[in-house]
Structure 1
Amino acid sequence: MANSDSKGVMVDLSPAIKVYKDGTVVRLSGSPFVPPSLDDPTTGVSSKDITISPSISARMYLPKISDPNHKLPILVFFHGGRFVVESAFSSLHHRFVNVLVSEARAVAVSVEYRLAPEHPLPAALEDGWAALQWVASHVVEGSCIEKEPWLVKHGDFNKIYVGGNSAGGNIAHNMAIRAGVESLVGDVKILGGFLSHPYFWDSTTKKENNEESMPYKVFMFAYPLAPGGIDNPMINPLADGAPKLSGLACSRLFVCTSQKDQFREINLLYVEALKKNGWKGELELVDVDGEDHCFEVFNPETEKSKSLITRLASFIRD
């Protein structure tokens, strides 16, 4: 993975990221940042940026409210981007969450977690857990945090969901696993989760040239000290010694994959393992023909994308 050339490139993971010998990190992909809006002209959803801690920020979303006394589900969302690119503030994820919140009628907290290589994994997971704990702390009277009015006024803390696409789907899974062994503030529970094309990988599913595959290279770049390497339980939930999937701390789960996605095989194995390992929750699997990785984020206007987003919104809303 490491190399040098006349331009001084030390690590080349095109089309995602390059690192130069002088330490410069150049992100080659990722959509531009866009500002929040108090009244999106298309969806009517309002959004604003908030600070959770000195190292964690987020973009919050609130759909148009017809009944101010009606409490809405809370979605803690984690963006995709291979743990190294993209943002909660990027145009791709802002557009996606805007549409999802509009249809799901939910309050969303889209977490801006720290990226590798400046902040190697598991920093992103630690940020995700801190953000989830921050949300949960809103139920505690006299909490030392400055409570967010959109959550206090409109959030239903009995209907908390975690979710994300690609790397964000991985983080959402790991949040539900951690919540099975470590309580959230105020004994808040996660009701459900959605994993869209989750970034899982292992040493055996793709036997040929696995170490040359992009998922392998990027994960080992993002987490060079990972115990167990590519079979670390963070990236391989099916690994020997990984936390039992029966302990997944939610009662509803929505998993999406698609025919052309390179993660499809291990995503389907994950679903089968959930069924076999004693997890008792409600499981919904969507496997979309003819589509590729996170198609609903990249092209949300297609009919298949609209259909998937509608199903996902119904899962959260109902």
Structure 2
Amino acid sequence: MASTDTATSSATKEIETEFPNHIRVYKDGTVERLFGSPIVPPSLHDSDTGVSSKDVVISDDPSISARLYLPKSAQSDAQKLPILVYFHASGFCLESAFSFLDQRYLNLIASKANVIAVSVEYRLAPEHHLPAAFEDCWDSLKWVSSHSTLSNAGEPWLINHGDFNRIYLGGDSAGATIAHNIAMRCGAEDLPGGVKSAGCFLSCPYFWGSKPIGSEPKEGHEQSPAALLWNFVYPSAPGGIDNPAINPTAEGAPSLAGMGCSKLLVCVYGKDQVRDRGALYYEALKNSGWNGEVELFEVEGEDHCFHILNPETDNANKVFNRLASFLL
């Protein structure tokens, strides 16, 4: 399927599917992305945070890469730092680990939390429908974990500065959905070197289901943007919108007691349409029999991913401070 990131398609081309102002798929296979911040290069020294970043190739087939972030402290301190494997937002079909918004966000997280961050550039739908992104992110975590047994070959930032007893997973929106699925997989499969995930944060996780809960509208629920987006990015999902990957509390979903990390933080925001799903997930995990620690952190009066879009606000700073205290 062809792809383009600018609105240059001919007006005479027929549209097959679109989400207005976000993404459009034409009948000839062309994909036009109408939303997203510009791609920016990594920086050896971010002027605001002092964080260094660089890009690495994880796999050529399939094509998986990542942007690595090293906080300023690591450049003069021999202390080993936690490693955050991060999955970006935007509905599995937009944005990039190399975009301006993600670069700014990960610079702030790496600086405030004093962690090495690995922001994964996974394949996007609809050129690569789910579960491609899930597989890419699992392979990326395996790649990071494999450095626990390396002494010279491999990525030096991870080998020289990473603490492989403190590997964290995290994501926002669709990235939080990925983080949940990867954490569950950590409970069922082994990672290289016997590495275990120390924790996972889910910020405004994109969960949904066929039956409305809480404040979700009762009318037209299955035609809601959240449901339509899932069908767009994973049209072959068994169970549709009640697939456990998007609805972890669906009937027949694997028990959350199998979560493969020792602590988990769920961040929800008062005006967010998926707020109630995040709260339900928190309650379900707390009552699942899982022997880890789970916390719900809520910011009232804010909407979906507000802290990424407006990181300079007081409420955004509350989110960054909570993430920093979690990633220890």
TM-score interval for Structure 1 and Structure 2 normalised by the shorter chain? over 0.9
Letter in 1 for 2:200: G
Quick one: which of 135, 143, 147 aligns to 1:138?
147
Letter in 2 for 1:92: L
Native 8 Å contact 2:265 2:295 kept in 1 = yes
Deviation (angstroms), 1:211: 2.4
- Which residue of structure 1 aligns with residue 169 of structure 2? 162
Distance in 2 separating the partners of 1:123 and 1:268: 27
- Which residue of structure 1 aligns with residue 299 of structure 2? 288
Distance in 2 separating the partners of 1:111 and 1:288: 27
Native 8 Å contact 2:84 2:116 kept in 1 = yes
Deviation (angstroms), 1:280: 1.9
Quick one: which of 212, 222, 240 aligns to 1:211?
222
Native 8 Å contact 2:150 2:159 kept in 1 = no
- Tell me if 1:61 matches 2:69: yes
- Which residue of structure 1 aligns with residue 190 of structure 2? 183
Pairs within 5 Å for 1:222-241:
222-241=233-252
Deviation (angstroms), 1:65: 2.4
Larger displacement relative to structure 2 (238-247 or 51-60):
238-247
- Which residue of structure 1 aligns with residue 82 of structure 2? 73
Deviation (angstroms), 1:208: 2.1
Letter in 2 for 1:195: L
The alignment partner of 1:57 has SS state of strand
- Tell me if 1:13 matches 2:27: no
Native 8 Å contact 2:256 2:290 kept in 1 = yes
Distance in 1 separating the partners of 2:77 and 2:324: 20
- Which residue of structure 1 aligns with residue 47 of structure 2? 41
Deviation (angstroms), 1:287: 1.2
- Tell me if 1:151 matches 2:158: yes
Letter in 1 for 2:290: W
Encode CA deviations 1:211-256: one digit per residue, 9 max, x unaligned. 2211111110100000000001111111122111011111111110
Larger displacement relative to structure 2 (127-136 or 61-70):
61-70
Count matched residues.
311
Gaps of 5+ in 1: none
The alignment partner of 1:283 has SS state of strand
The alignment partner of 2:73 has SS state of coil
Letter in 2 for 1:10: E
Native 8 Å contact 2:85 2:141 kept in 1 = yes
Encode CA deviations 1:152-171: one digit per residue, 9 max, x unaligned. 00000000000010000000
The alignment partner of 1:65 has SS state of helix
Q: 1:182 to 1:226 in 2, by over 3 A?
A: same
The alignment partner of 2:286 has SS state of helix
Distance in 1 separating the partners of 2:310 and 2:117: 21
Calculate the TM-score normalised by the size of structure 1. 0.95
Q: 1:75 to 1:293 in 2, by over 3 A?
A: same
Deviation (angstroms), 1:174: 0.5
Native 8 Å contact 2:204 2:278 kept in 1 = yes
Encode CA deviations 1:111-138: one digit per residue, 9 max, x unaligned. 0000000000000000000000000111
Letter in 1 for 2:238: P
Deviation (angstroms), 1:308: 1.0
Letter in 1 for 2:138: W
Encode CA deviations 1:251-288: one digit per residue, 9 max, x unaligned. 11111011110101111110000111112212221111
- Tell me if 1:265 matches 2:271: no
Distance in 2 separating the partners of 1:289 and 1:68: 38
What's the RMSD between the two structures over aligned residues? 1.5
Larger displacement relative to structure 2 (117-126 or 282-291):
282-291
